[in-house]
Amino acid sequence: MLGLNPCINSTLSCYEGIVASYLKWIGYTYVMIFENSWGLHFYENIDFNKPDPLEKYYGIRIKGFGKYLNLGDIHRLIYIDRVPLIVFTNIYDCPWTKAYRKCCSDHILLALGIEDDNLLCIDPYFSNNIHHFDSNNVMAEQVVYATFEKLSENQSENPRFLCDELKNQICFYHNTNIFSYIELKNNLNILDIDTETVSKKEFNALELTFDKNLFLLDRITKNRLNYIEMLKHINSLNCTYDFHEFTGILKKLSMRWSACRIKLLKYYISKNNDDHEEFRSMFILLLESEQQLCKNFYEYFL
C-alpha cells in the first residue's frame, strides 16, 4: 500500500482533501488549489475558461480512465506505477459515513492499495483512517476512476507568476461583477426558498447535513478561509504586495457567512418567517460587502 497520509483540514471539500493529500505526498504546498475559492459558487454561468489551478500551478492534471478498470489494472497502477487512484463514487456506498445506504451525493476517495476485492482508500473529508471500499458494491456502475498525471514544472513557489495570476483573477472578478445580487440570482436560487414546503417539513439531522443551501453556505464560509491561506502563501514568498488588510476582511466575512448559515438553519427548525426575512437581509448585506472588498482589491492593483 502507498504510504500517503490523508490531509485533514476541516475547511477542505472532499475533492480538495484528496488533491491536498496527494500534493503533500509529493512534497508540494497545496494552497494554490484555492485560487478560485473566493468566487466559487458565484460565477457558474460565466464562461470562466481558465485552466484548473492544479494544472496551472503544479503542472498536474487529473487523467480519467472511465468506468471499467479491473482489479489487475488497479494493482498495476498502485503497486507497479506507484500512483494513487482517484475514485469518483457516491457517498451512498461509503459504509464509514452516516449517509451509507441513506443519502446519495457525489463523493471522492483516494485508493492506495487492494485487499481481496476491496480498495484500501483514504477519505480525508471524514477521517484519517484507511477504509475498505467494495469495488462490487450496489452502485459500482457509477464509479469512475482517474489518476494524477505530471505535465509541466511546479509554479506554486514562483512569486512573480503567482502575483500576476492573482491580479488577473481580481480583475476578472471585478469586471464580471460576480458578487452582485443580479449575477447571483442568475447563478443560484438560494434566496428563492419555498417557504410553504419548509413550513410543512420536519427536517432530521441527516437531511440538514445534506441540505443544498446549508451545504452551499458552509462551503462559502470555508472558501474564504482557504483563500486567506493562499494569500498568506503568496506573501510569504516576499511578494511585492501586502494582503494583510484583505485577509482580515475575508476572515470577518467568513464569520458573517457562518452566522448567515446558522440563521437559515434556525428558520428550517423554527418555521418562523421572521427568521427567513432576517436570513435574506443578512445574505444581501453580505453580497454588498463582498462587492466592496472586490472593488477595493481591484483598486489596490491599479
Of 93-97, 153-157, 294-298, the least confident = 93-97
Domains in the chain: boundaries: 14-34+60-150, 159-301
The chain-wide mean pLDDT, for the chain, equals 90
What is the three-state SS of the chain? Answer: CCCCCCCCCCCCCHHHHHHHHHHHHCCCCCHHHHCCCCCCCCCCCCCCCCCCHHHHHHCEEEEEEECCCCHHHHHHHHHHCCCCEEEEEEHHHCCCCCCCCCCCCEEEEEEEEEECCEEEEECCCCCCCEEEEECCCCCHHHCEEEEEEECCCCCCCCHHHHHHHHHHHHHHHHHHCCCCHHHHHHHCCCCCCCHHHHHHCCCCHHHHHCCHHHHHHHHHHHHHHHHHHHHHHHHHCCCCCCCHHHHHHHHHHHHHHHHHHHHHHHHHHHCCHHHHHHHHHHHHHHHHHHHHHHHHHHHHHC
The yes-or-no verdict on residue 162 having pLDDT over 90 is yes
Average pLDDT in the 57-84 region?
89
**7-55: pLDDT as tens digits:** 999 999 999 999 999 999 999 999 999 999 998 877 655 555 567 999 9
pTM across the whole model: 0.93
- CATH, domain range 14-34+60-150: 3.90.70
What pLDDT, in 10s, does the model give residues 195-250?
888 888 888 888 888 888 899 999 999 999 999 999 999 999 977 889 999 999 99
